[in-house]
Amino acid sequence: MANSNIPWVDFLFELAVYWLYKISEILGITYEEVNVWIFCVAWPILSIGLIGCVIYLTRENRRLRRQNMISPSGKIQNRSRKLAGVTDHL
């Protein structure tokens, strides 16, 4: 099937096609339908979900930085100790 003359690319392609055929047998649908479900339905939904997670985490990070809960270096600060004037000495 694969004919890129790059052995590892050919191997991965043939492995992916093999699993697509196995999944199509298990689900009782065609190879092409499995491709559509994966690349036209599942992948876009996952991508949108991951983009949503990045947006949420970015906003949460900014909120915590504004409240001085996270230092610029990324270290989480304990506000109760900071308010009490306790400092860590190493």
Is 40 a domain residue?
yes
Tens-level pLDDT at each residue, the chain (90 residues): 678 989 999 999 999 999 999 999 999 999 999 999 999 999 999 999 999 999 999 999 999 888 887 776 767 766 665 555 656 555
Is 89 a domain residue?
no
Is 1 a domain residue?
no
Domain membership of residue 40 as a residue range: 7-83
Is 88 a domain residue?
no
Is 38 a domain residue?
yes
User: What is the count of structural domains for the chain?
Assistant: 1
Nearest to 38 by CA among 51, 20, 53: 20
In this prediction the pTM is 0.62
Nearest to 65 by CA among 57, 21, 10: 57
Is 17 a domain residue?
yes
